Structure 1
């Protein structure tokens, strides 16, 4: 059960890492023609890509002893849910993005399910040591 959660978190952590790399390297030009990008939009896009790096590092830090890091994972999931709600608002007001963004929203809004899994792992670990 613990190893499964660690593997899932490890695989999911590669998503923000990949987008961080693309965002920091290509900026908003990844989504828009280069000549049409306001400097402020590119700046904000690259900044948020840097935040993705932190999410990845926090997940990597929690994975080895995932049963002990419920609070950290709760904060990460809260950030993901808030971001997923932002995507939902965008989809409802501006229109759907590409399928990858829809998939991201589903993962983000579903991330609290990982907390349930983590709590089960923590409970099992406590039972085995107690």
Structure 2
């Protein structure tokens, strides 16, 4: 096993990555749970539109599931490269869809802009970091 690199405070790089994934996982878990529980109203849309509400709750359930799977990987992030890459691809593709909406429909709310940054920047960076840690740990 390769020697673990340490960050300030004696944290290993793996531990720092685990903490970062736990914190970043708050976004899909809380947004997903809010969407499942409150439907389209959680995101400022009219929840009376039955089809929209149904779709928002479904997609929120997927978001919640993605966040929970990321969290489930935390104890073994140094060996979960394949799953992290698959989840990252799913999140990134979703972010591309949100980016299309930005160009077609205009700039969304700050919360949706935050989601866009999480999907197209933060999650891919965490994936690259995980790959680096996995290589160092093997």
Fold-level similarity (TM above 0.5)? yes
Equivalent residue for 2:16? 4
The answer to whether 1:20 aligns with 2:43 is no
Give the whole-Å Cα distance in 2 for the aligned partners of 1:112 and 1:56: 14
Query: How far is the alpha carbon of 1:11 from its aligned partner?
Result: 0.5
Cα RMSD of the aligned pairs, angstroms, is 1.2
- 1:118 is matched with 130
Structure having the higher helix fraction is 1
The match for 2:45 is: 32
Q: Give the Cα separation in 1 of the matches to 2:45 and 2:116.
A: 21
Structure 2: 5+ residue stretches without partners: 1-12
CA distance in 1, matches of 2:128, 2:33: 30
Who is 1:94 aligned against? 105
TM-score (norm 2): 0.84
State the 4+ residue runs in structure 1 displaced beyond 6 angstroms: none
TM-score by length of structure 1 reads 0.89
User: Shift of the alpha carbon at 1:25?
Assistant: 1.4
Question: 1:72 and 2:83 equivalent?
Answer: yes
C-alpha displacement of 1:29:
2.0
**Contact map agreement 2:25 2:70 (CA 8 A) in 1:** yes
Stretch moving more, 63-72 or 100-109: 100-109
Cα deviation, residue 21, structure 1: 1.7
Alignment gaps of 5+ in structure 1: none
The answer on whether the counterparts of 2:30 and 2:64 sit within 8 Å (CA) in structure 1 is: no
